[in-house]
Amino acid sequence: MGIITRTIEANGFRFAVDEAGEGDRLALCLHGFPESRFSWRFHLPLLAQMGYRAWAPDLRGYGETEPRPQDVASYRIERLLEDVAGLIDASGAKEVTLIGHDWGAAVAWAFAAHKVRPLERLVIMNVPHPAVFAKVLRSSPRQLLRSWYMFLFQIPGLPEWLNTAGDARAIRRAFRGMAIDKSRFPDEVLDRYARDAQRPGAMKAMVNWYRAAARHPGLMAGPWPRIETPTLVIWGEADAALGLETLDGTDAYVEDLTIRRLPDVSHWVQQEAPEAVNVILEDWLSAPR
């Protein structure tokens, strides 16, 4: 099924949304850093074939979504949850499955835990539950080292310059450099992400997600209610940014948890192994709960 791009007005923003399928069962796909709605291009058609209306928005500060706030506080977790709730409300859907990768997965964890809107299912890709991640950061020097960029991103101005210099060379390197199967990130894919990162004000907005997490932790600081929504975690085991130990203990926060691990796949799991991810998605979403 084909993908079309729509503008959805929600929570005071005009979200650029890629859409496939129709009906009142929504699959809402949330991307991470430094991605965009484009990262779900392999999965929207499958979700549509399964009977979902699949939406992949450019999240606040990213891509073609406007306006693009430049202050840090606009990216605190409470504001991001309001965006997801606004998109769900705008869809008019009767059932919602929330799917997230990277920062989108962090938002999805919080959305499900705090029951901002009812969810049928939750799918997480390559981001640990925030409570587990916080524990590992405190106890694992190795994970602390892997997370070096989170501290770099707190410096005013520098990460914006580093990430956009040389036609966004660092953004291009983030994808192809971390990938195991580098053929999944040809120049035309990297060009798309580099172009989005260089939109006026975009990189500051994208980095402000990290700054807000540090300066305005809010709900991310806990406590964390146990998630009752059936939850699937898909994890590329060759993630250079997040160790496998960040999966340990997830079941303490999720009542109905399924974990599927993909060896020799990087952090960019849904783009690097889209066929395997789609098989897992179809199998798990089709199974009765």
* Contact (CB, 8 A) for 102 and 235: no
Selected catalytic residue, list 52, 62, 193, 210: 210
**Percent of the chain whose predicted confidence (pLDDT) is above 70:** 100
DSSP characters over 20-59: E--SSEEEEEE--TT--GGGGTTTHHHHHHTT-EEEEEPP
Q: Which amino acid is at 188?
A: E
Active site residue 102: yes
pTM for this entry? 0.97
Task: State the pLDDT at residue 209.
Answer: 98
Instruction: Kindly give the residue spans of alpha helices, DSSP state H, lying in the chain.
Output: 44-49, 77-91, 103-113, 130-139, 141-146, 148-152, 158-178, 187-197, 202-215, 269-272, 274-286
4-286: CATH homologous superfamily? Alpha/Beta hydrolase fold, catalytic domain (3.40.50.1820)
Selected catalytic residue, list 18, 58, 83, 102: 102
Whether residue 118 has pLDDT greater than 80: yes
* Contact (CB, 8 A) for 123 and 97: yes
Whether residue 1 has pLDDT greater than 70: no
Tens of pLDDT, residue by residue over 10-40, are: 999 999 999 999 999 999 999 999 999 999 9
Active site residue 216: no
Active site residue 267: yes
Handedness of CA 75, 254, 115, 14 (dihedral sign): positive
* Contact (CB, 8 A) for 270 and 29: no
Half-sphere exposure of 220 (CA within 13 A, CB side): 26
The residues near 87 (Cβ < 8 Å, ≥ 6 apart) are: 8, 10, 11, 15, 17, 28, 55, 57
